[in-house]
Amino acid sequence: MTKNKDQREIVLPITLYKEPELRNPYMITAWPGMGNVALKAATYMREKLGAEEFGVINPAGFFQSNIVYIRNNLIEPIKLPENKFYYKKNEGAENDIIFFIGDAQPLSGREYEFADMVLDVAERFKVKMVYSFAAFAIDTHYKEKPKVWGVATSKELLEKLENNNVLSMNNGHVGGMNGVILGVAKEKGIEGICLLGEMPYYATQIENPRSSQVILEVFAKIIGIKIDMTELEVLARYTESEIEKFFLKIEDLKLDQMLERGGNKSPGYIH
């Protein structure tokens, strides 16, 4: 914060607690989306790598709250979504890593400006490559291992993805900030890749850690890091078992409804 002549506090849009010396850093950005795929992947990787927080974007003007929470009979202060920068010095590799993780999508109409602010930090640390993640909702069985698709800002990067068994998307769009960030990056001359993990279209409201996992497996291979996937694998199996229980309940319910409609009558014929 700074103060003007009237000693009123002015909240700066970006606050960096420190400016670490980083070697040719990549930037990884993530916001919530379908199946929480992008946010889960980035957050899990940040935690496993032990990335350290070094800055924030002030949420004022980019987010709003239309609800207050009550605890122990008292109103809680309004808390807007957090938007934080982290860094990890990637020992043994050529590139360090900057993470930007946002708790929520900014207000409609403010996406471009918000992406521009995130990329201001990228430019400050001479980032040449930005990665984002997303979900790709398709007609698939929840037990089938998701494939990973990719979009990029250049043909050279597409070839790199294809060499890592990533499927290319000829046409379409990536919604929300996980897509917008790369469009703005391209305008600024920064290269970018978005990795999309498949997930069932009928389960987009359910967290899909399996999709996050396959994205991270590909990403780790591309940039040459190791990520312990044990906890994510356990969570993915648990989620799949819960989905299976849900479908079994639906089948049982359908059977009960059929029996109720048919009563105790025997079939009039055998076919």
- State yes or no: pLDDT of 270 exceeds 60: no
Residue 195 makes CB contacts below 8 A (sequence gap 6+) with 131, 132, 133, 134, 148, 149, 150, 166, 215, 218, 219
What pLDDT score was predicted for residue 153? 96
pLDDT at 170: 84
Which range (167-181, 201-215, 218-232, 240-254) has the least confidence?
A: 240-254
pLDDT at 103: 96
> Residues 183-227: pLDDT tens digits?
999 999 999 999 999 999 888 888 999 999 999 999 999 999 999
Task: Please tell me which residue, 170 or 12, carries the higher pLDDT value.
Answer: 170
Closest alpha carbon to 195 in 85, 86, 45:
45
> Whole-prediction pTM value?
0.85
The per-residue pLDDT for 253 is 63
- Predicted confidence at residue 265, as pLDDT, reads 45
Q: Which CATH architecture has domain 9-228?
A: 3-Layer(aba) Sandwich (3.40)
Domain residue ranges in the chain: 9-228
> What is the Cα–Cα distance from 218 to 148, expressed in whole angstroms?
8
Please give the helix or strand (H or E) that residue 199 lies within, else none: strand 191-200
Write down the pLDDT at residue 203. 84
Please give the structure tokens belonging to residue 161. Answer: 């993805």
Output the CA torsion 218→224→40→235 (10° steps).
70
pLDDT for 256 equals 59
Are 153 and 191 within 8 A, CB to CB?
Answer: yes
Q: 254 pLDDT band (50/70/90 cuts)?
A: low
Across 162-186, b (16+ Cβ under 10 Å) vs e yields: eeeebeebeeeebebbbbbbbebbe
Stretch 99-127: mean pLDDT: 97
**DSSP string computed for 102-130:** ESSPPPTT-HHHHHHHHHHHHHHTT--EE
